[in-house]
């Protein structure tokens, strides 16, 4: 191989490497400087980043927004669980933290997100596109890990106006999960009333869950846990 060709290949490899490093740096900058993120969100994300950098490992990761964050999963499931939920996060916010989940080398990752995207006016089809990018990166970094995509949970009262968008997104996510080999978990029917809305005893604000509801959710998760 001529020296000029070797030089060309070397330059191409360096450009690719710089591109990857830039992508990682840009993702971290996004996670910290995104103007829609509150300081407490940034601090919690920083905490998770430091845990990952210190060599933290976890067989099971719960990855999502406030509905995930507000549960004490380790006590609910009776085993160590890495809770990587951050209130207010969108699917893109989760994507900005993928590398910190990958670093944990989990056997299974449960994902629940999308409500905050819909609340901000993002269409279900666009949320699906964001999910596609998120799952692609997760599966690339964790090829042996079971990815469980969880249906957005039902809502009621003041949040009922988003029920149509949630149903549409869930239908899209269910089909997409099957296509990419992810596990689909829909806990909604166990939490809903006869009208399909989140049952009154399972919420206080129309969206977030009571203790009883979390136990129902945990019971649905338990059969999917690794031994």
Highest CATH level, class, for 39-224: alpha beta
pLDDT at residue 24 greater than cutoff 50: no
Identify which has the larger pLDDT, 23 or 36. 36
Q: Which of 30-44, 89-103, 179-193 is predicted least confidently?
A: 30-44
Per-residue b/e over 47-77, b at no fewer than 16 CB within 10 Å?
A: ebbebbeeeeebbbbbbbbbbbbebebeebb
pLDDT at residue 204 greater than cutoff 70: yes
**Domain assignments of the chain as residue spans, ordered by start:** 1-33, 39-224
Q: pTM of the predicted model, to two decimals?
A: 0.84
Q: Which tens digits make up the pLDDT trace of 106-119?
A: 999 999 999 999 99
pLDDT band for position 37 (50/70/90)? Answer: confident
Cα 160 to Cα 155: distance, rounded to the nearest angstrom = 6
Identify which has the larger pLDDT, 35 or 212. 212
pLDDT at res. 13: 52
pLDDT at res. 80: 97
pLDDT at res. 32: 46
Strand runs labelled E in 65-219: 82-85, 108-112, 146-150, 183-185
pLDDT, average across residues 130-148? 98
pLDDT at residue 142 greater than cutoff 70: yes
Question: Mean pLDDT in the chain?
Answer: 90
Helices 39-53 and 3-33 sit at what angle, rounded to 10 degrees?
Answer: 130
Q: Which of 58, 62, 87 is nearest to 72 (CA)?
A: 62
Determine the Cα angle at 223 with ends 117 and 78, to 5°.
Answer: 90
pLDDT, average across residues 151-178? 97
């Amino acid at each position: 191989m001529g020296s000029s060709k070797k030089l060309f290949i070397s330059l191409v490899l360096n450009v690719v490497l710089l591109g990857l490093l830039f992508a990682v740096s840009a993702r971290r900058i996004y996670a910290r400087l995104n103007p829609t993120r509150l300081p407490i969100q940034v601090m919690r994300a920083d905490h998770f980043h430091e845990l990952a950098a210190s060599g933290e490992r976890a067989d099971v990761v719960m990855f999502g927004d406030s509905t995930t964050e507000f549960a004490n999963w380790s006590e609910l499931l009776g085993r160590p669980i890495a809770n990587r939920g951050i209130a207010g996060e969108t699917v893109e916010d989760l994507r900005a933290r993928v590398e910190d989940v990958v670093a944990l080398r989990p056997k299974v990752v449960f994902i629940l997100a999308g409500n905050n995207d819909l609340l901000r006016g993002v269409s279900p089809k666009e949320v699906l596109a964001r999910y596609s990018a998120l799952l692609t990166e997760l599966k690339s970094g964790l090829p042996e890990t079971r990815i469980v995509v969880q249906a957005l949970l039902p809502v009621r009262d003041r949040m009922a106006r988003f029920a149509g968008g949630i149903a549409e997104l869930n239908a899209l996510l269910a089909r997409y999960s099957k296509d990419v080999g992810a596990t689909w978990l829909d806990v909604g029917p166990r939490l809903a009333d006869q009208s399909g809305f989140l049952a009154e005893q399972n919420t206080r604000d129309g969206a977030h869950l009571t203790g009883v509801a979390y136990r129902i959710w945990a019971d649905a998760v338990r059969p999917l846990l690794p031994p």
